[in-house]
Amino acid sequence: MERHGLSPTTTRTAEHVLKALSKKADLHNPLGVALAISRYKRNNEQPTNGYKKKIAESYDHFCKHHQITWTKPSYHTDEHSIQPPTAEKISLLYSSAKMPLSLKVQVSAETGLRPIEVEGYKGLKVKDIHPDTKTITPTNTKRCNARPAIKISDELLCRLQEYITLNKLRPEDTIFQGTAEKYSENFRRYKHRLAKKLNDPTIETIRLYDLRHAYITKTLRRTQNCEIVRQIVGHKNLNTTQKYLHLLVGSDSGEWVVEGTTDKERAKQLLAADFTYQLTTPDGTMLFKKAK
């Protein structure tokens, strides 16, 4: 898997999943495996389709390596389950944390980088920070194309420069020493402590990857262009970026009527009927919304 460009984290996850799956079915019997996945339970609870999809994808890698023919089952996942945290909650997370976790969380929030792009074998290096343009250039992961530089705030730039100077880091040095798994684990422990301290159970529901979800939604709202956002965040497929469109249209409070059209005359009619233009999807569909 690593030879095909997949990260060590993805490889280790697949290995863990396959070991668990091998206890329920013969991995060389694809029909038996498909049946086992459909019946799969974890911790005595029925897992989500998202987890079953992960099992099927891991087994698919196994089949390709061992030249086993099988038909990968399709498990529908509800993209509407993605609920990014608010800007206030994100600010609370990094302002309440201690260094260096505070700095890493702010980097994740302001750039939408994957955890492994912040800390890990493809994590940020000193040379990736560009003070003159106030940008960060991330290292590519997930076999995506080269990505443009990402703007960061003056506050984050100053904090990064101070951290680099304090730790006497050189241009080729990795800024954060550790792994993506350690970063994720430290974040999980921290948010649990913070939720308990503030008596706010909603903090417990925030995942590290939700910071990336929030960044993508915010950038979609700002640019109004899925293709631009795809390039910035490093999605390999445009369909992945488009999953966030429902968040953009329905991000405000209240209920909305949403309409899409590729016809310019219909677009004029919608505007005349007090609809508000939201964005144009890559296939040319213009999205509008109006409060009910």
pLDDT tens column, 166-200: 999 999 999 999 998 899 999 999 999 999 999 99
Does residue 219 belong to any structural domain of this protein? Answer: no
| pLDDT value, residue 93 | 95
**130 in the same domain as 26:** no
pLDDT tens column, 203-236: 998 999 999 999 998 888 887 778 888 888 888 7
| Strands of the chain, DSSP E | 129-130, 135-136, 150-151, 256-261, 276-280, 286-291
**239 in the same domain as 192:** no
CATH code, domain carrying 167: 1.10.443.10
- Tell me the residue range of the domain where 260 lies: 224-291
pLDDT tier at 162, thresholds 50, 70, 90: very high
Does residue 82 belong to any structural domain of this protein? Answer: no
pLDDT tens column, 67-102: 999 888 776 554 445 578 888 999 999 999 999 999
Of the three residues 211, 238, 267, the one that is the final residue of a domain is 211
Of the three residues 52, 77, 102, the one that is the final residue of a domain is 77
Q: Rounded to an integer, what distance in angstroms lies between the CA atom of residue 130 and that of residue 152?
A: 10
**267 in the same domain as 205:** no
**184 in the same domain as 91:** yes
pLDDT over 70 at 246, yes or no:
no
Closest Cα partner for 94 from 39, 160, 6? 160
* Residue appearing with tokens 């304090």: 166
pLDDT tier at 261, thresholds 50, 70, 90: confident
Does residue 260 belong to any structural domain of this protein? Answer: yes
**155 in the same domain as 110:** yes
Q: Rounded to an integer, what distance in angstroms lies between the CA atom of residue 261 and that of residue 268?
A: 10
What average pLDDT does the segment 265-269 reach?
86
| pLDDT value, residue 198 | 93
The DSSP symbol for 43 reads T
Most confident of 224-228, 264-268, 279-283: 264-268
> What is the number of domains present in the chain?
3
What average pLDDT does the segment 278-283 reach?
66
pTM given for the model:
0.67
**161 in the same domain as 113:** yes
Quickly list DSSP for 224-270.
--HHHHHHHHT-SSHHHHHTTHHHHHT-SSS-EEEEEES-HHHHHHH
**207 in the same domain as 255:** no
Q: Rounded to an integer, what distance in angstroms lies between the CA atom of residue 183 and that of residue 121?
A: 12
| pLDDT value, residue 197 | 93
Of the three residues 211, 241, 264, the one that is the final residue of a domain is 211
pLDDT over 60 at 13, yes or no:
yes
